[in-house]
Amino acid sequence: MTARGVILTLDYPPGGGGIARLLGEWTADTNAMEWLVLTSTPGPSTARVRRTTAVHGVPDLVRAVRWLRGGDPRIVVAGHPYLAGPANVVAALTRSRSACIVFGRELLPTRRKHGLALRALRHSDRVISISDHSAALASALGVDERRIRVVRPRLVPPWLAATVPTRRAGEGLQLVALTRLVEGYKNFELLLRLCAVLHPRGVIGGLTIIGDGPRREALRRKAGELGLGDVVRLPGRVPDDEVLGLLARAHLGLFPSRASGAERGFEGYGLAVHELAAAGLPVLVGAAAGAMDAAVSPWSRLLDPDDLWAWVQATEDLFNDEPGRAELGAAALAWARSTRPHESAVALASALFDDAAIRERVA
């Protein structure tokens, strides 16, 4: 029999965001494990992805249970920490293992009902974390550390540059960031301050922040106040092919997120770090939370996200060493090119089961 798994999730393609993309690749068909996805994310339903609602949820779940019983081994996975309880119930009804994927700020409940939902994590047979930081938070919630596995995402890039972007002699660095312009912990203001210091010196030629959200216009106004209106570009959300065009004109990627106690916010991982690498860019990364797991030596460098002068120095160093910058970009591109289809799906499947013989089958 083939291993089968049902995943209950709020986020799934074509929904936006890193978690939706991650779950899409983690549930890819590897011929060793089959998945049936139940999700509330709008989109077309298929034989293996059921778009369910409160009205249709019960019939869809009944069909999922019948399908699951045809697998050996079998598992029910919650794709969101708040769904651990329902996943545990379905697993008990089908005599399956249960698991939950944990990934970010949801592990810091802001409401009592969320705290109650998270208690179910203690009863999941396996908790899969995408970073060491999220694993530590799951442990703090009372999850037995022996049940926790860290599976760091390694996804096929949405684009892949043909070559490393080059810089003409004397040209200021073109900087780029990929981010939601929503949460303050994304630390966009650091990028403006970096430009305010280094643009007048000719070190920075321009900054492009790709992404959209309610803070976009505020950032545009702040850039203008700092005299950076012609230096900082905020194109909003753009299609993947246009993103690659913007990245091809850049020389350095930036991912300055920090862990914010006030916002109770942090990066669960940092897939944008890898997307910047796939454009042939070295990346400066904020040394905080899950982003530390996303940074890969030698092409990325971890910096204190609250230390402006550390970012100034690192940027100046790369400006003054173009051969070194290009070498790091080549290392980033080679790393991105080494990613194999189904790599993440196999890693997840292997982490879900205790039995070595089963792990060998699904891998």
Q: Are residues 226 and 135 in the same domain?
A: no
Q: Are residues 180 and 258 in the same domain?
A: yes
Give the CATH number for residue 80: 3.40.50.2000
Residue 132 Cα distances to 141, 175, 266, 272, 314, angstroms: 14, 29, 13, 18, 26
> What residue numbers bound the domain in which 295 lies?
173-337
Between 97 and 346, where is the model more confident?
97
pLDDT tops 90 at residue 240: no
- The token pair that represents 307 in the structure block: 């230390």
**Angle CA 252–296–105, to nearest 5:** 95
Pairwise CA distance, residues 99 & 7, whole Å: 9
Decide if 165 is inside a domain: no
Q: Are residues 191 and 90 in the same domain?
A: no
Q: Are residues 34 and 120 in the same domain?
A: yes
Decide if 120 is inside a domain: yes
Decide if 164 is inside a domain: no
Q: Is 202 helix (H, G, I), strand (E, B) or coil?
A: coil
Q: What is the pLDDT of residue 357?
A: 58
Q: Are residues 138 and 13 in the same domain?
A: yes
Say if residues 289 and 266 touch (Cβ distance below 8 Å): yes
Decide if 317 is inside a domain: yes
pLDDT mean over 33-39: 93
Domain count, the chain: 2
| CB within 8 Å of 347: residues ≥ 6 apart | 151, 154
- The token pair that represents 260 in the structure block: 């914010």
Q: Are residues 134 and 30 in the same domain?
A: yes
Q: Are residues 140 and 184 in the same domain?
A: no
Decide if 159 is inside a domain: no
pLDDT mean over 277-294: 97
Pairwise CA distance, residues 112 & 103, whole Å: 20
Pairwise CA distance, residues 284 & 315, whole Å: 9
| CB within 8 Å of 7: residues ≥ 6 apart | 23, 27, 35, 36, 37, 38, 76, 77, 78, 79
Pairwise CA distance, residues 127 & 145, whole Å: 9
Closest CA to 237 of 229, 246, 250: 246
Q: Are residues 35 and 65 in the same domain?
A: yes
pLDDT tops 70 at residue 361: no
Decide if 162 is inside a domain: no
pLDDT tops 80 at residue 54: no
Q: What region, left, alpha or beta, does residue 342 occupy, with left being phi > 0 and alpha being psi -120 to 50 degrees? A: left
Q: What is the pLDDT of residue 363?
A: 60
Q: How many CB atoms lie within 10 A of CB 236?
A: 11
Say if residues 52 and 39 touch (Cβ distance below 8 Å): yes
Q: Are residues 188 and 241 in the same domain?
A: yes
Pairwise CA distance, residues 111 & 334, whole Å: 44
Pairwise CA distance, residues 65 & 86, whole Å: 13
Residue 213 Cα distances to 184, 255, 281, angstroms: 11, 17, 25
Instruction: Look at the block and give the residue holding tokens 């106690």.
Output: 261
What digits encode the pLDDT tens for the residues 157-172? 889 999 999 999 889 9
Q: Are residues 150 and 178 in the same domain?
A: no
Decide if 215 is inside a domain: yes
pLDDT tops 70 at residue 56: no
Q: Are residues 196 and 127 in the same domain?
A: no
Q: Are residues 32 and 107 in the same domain?
A: yes
Decide if 262 is inside a domain: yes
pTM over 0.75? The answer is yes
